Structure formats: C-alpha cells, structure tokens
Amino acid sequence: MVIATLHFEIHVHSVRSLSMFLLKTWRATAFGVYGYLNFTKSAFMEHSKKFNPEDTQARIDGKNCVVTGANSGIGYATAEGLASRGATVYMVCRSKERGEAALSQIQSTTGNQKVHLEVCDLSSISDIKSFASRFSSKNVPVHVLVNNAGLLENKQITTSEGFEQNFAVNVLGTYSMTELMLPLLENAAPDARVITVSSGGMYTAPLTTDLQFSEGKFNSVEQYARNKRVQVALTENWAEMYKDIGISFYSMHPGWAETPGVAKSLPDLNKSLSGKLRTSEQGADTVIWLALQPKEKLTPGAFYFDRAEAPKHLMFSATRGSYSLINNIVEDLRSMSSLSS
C-alpha cells in the first residue's frame, strides 16, 4: 500500500513537472514568435504608418514630469521628448555624474533649461523615501510620473536592505516611488498620470508570490519577466484603487530596443538581433504618446504598445488566472516598503 502510494505520488509529480515544462516551453515559443513579428524595428516602422503625427505634437509647457532611470536608453529618450515639448522635467538617476552629463545634453539639444537632476538609488527604499521627502518640500504638482528605471542583473545579488536586486528596482522601487508620489500627483489632478515601462518579456510569466525568487535555481531572465508582470498587474490595481482622485495609470512596453541596458544584460539577444532592434526613441514613442493624449482617449489600467492597447496575456499561456494573487502581492510590498495603507 505504501509503495503504491509512493508510486502514485511520483507519477503525479512527474506529470506536474512535465506539464510545467511544456507550459513554459509554449510561453517562450509563443513569446518569441509574437515578439519577432511585432517588437522589432521593422515592425515599428510598419505600425507607425497608422500613427497620427498630431498625437505627439502637443506642447506641455507648465507640466511637471518625473522620469526615473533617465540618464540613458528609453528613460533618456523620454526625458528628452518631454523636454522638447516644453515640460519641466525631473530626471531621477542613480549616478550623479551620468545624470549631469545627460541633463546637460538634453538642455543643449532641446533648448529647454527647465530640466533638473534628482539623485536617487531606486534599489533602496530609504533612498526613495529621502528623495520623496526632499522632492515634496518643493511643493511641485506632478502631472506625469514615468516609472522607467529597470534592471536585469544576471547574478543573484541581495541589496543592503535585504532584497533581491532585480526585484528591489523593478517592483519594490516602482511601487514605493509611485505610492510616495501620490500626494504630488493628486495636486495635479485631474490631469495626473503614471506611466510604467514594463516589457514584452512579461508575457512569459504569471504572477507569483515568490517575489524574490527564493524557490528553485535563480534565473535572472525569468525573474525580470516576473517583475515586469507584477508592474502590469500593479498598474491595473492602482487604476482601480485611485480611480476617484484624478490620477490615471497606464503600463506599456517598448518592444525590443537597442539600449545600454539590453547590451549589458542580454548580450546574446543584442547580438542575434543586431540591426533589428528599435532605437531608444522608437522604444520611448508610446511613453511620450501616453503622456500627451487626452485621458478620454485612454483606458485606465491598460497595457499599451505602439500607441495602441495591447493584450496582457498570450493565447493558451495560462497567465490570466494568476491575477487573483495581486492583493497578496500588494500587501507584501506595503509591508516590505514599510508604507502605511
């Protein structure tokens, strides 16, 4: 009897393992095909034929925009794009030196001197709290917050505050920055909006409460995908939670863009898709479009790609059901960040 039970349990475990392997293989394959058809530079050129040029010609003088991770890549292109349209831009960067160089370049390129640098390490809760406290004392209403800072660190590194580093930047940092900016966003209501830069990689991952990848062998690409899935689910959650106070929330993904971050973290992808990757400006296009559109044209909590609402789940990928975990995840993030509800 004991042997029969043991055989049965081994069989069930084997079936589950095989099912999970097949599901992960399907997700990766579906993502690869979908991405190759939609996320490349040539796909952007094709999609852009349907763009309305007037959508991104608006001036936003007098609007205050905060962009995290703004010294390079998509963050830089976003900050430059907003500054060129007259916005007052606050670039939140970890490195003072790189931030100052980017700031100077943007001021020179756009002729807009209302571009400012704020130094903050988005992997540190205490640093984010210090920044929020400092910035709040300026009493500046925030019309647009762009959560762009992201990390794909291939090694499993723990921050000084005890968090897995990718999670600390991509999820906990994004959550804390957004929550702490809410009073300043509310001061800009009903025109305030939060735009979070996710990734198409999230299509391969469901939500999980294992936020720091403490179960199983660490896989940085999978952790990044999980982090980016959380960002999309958080956006949906925030949109519902704060729908009555005049702040709108949107997530987006830039496609496969050639940025310093991709070159450093995914050298094989960068090499294999050489010449096919989008520019940072093409990657930032939908961020700027979301910042400029009248809210009535947009769907709160939606996921955008190439100026259009995109699906949050690929067919047969079995990621939709995991969204029942979002409330548990939000509670965990609130507890980890020590932010009151």
Residues annotated as part of the active site: 224
- Beta strands 192-197 and 64-68 are unpaired
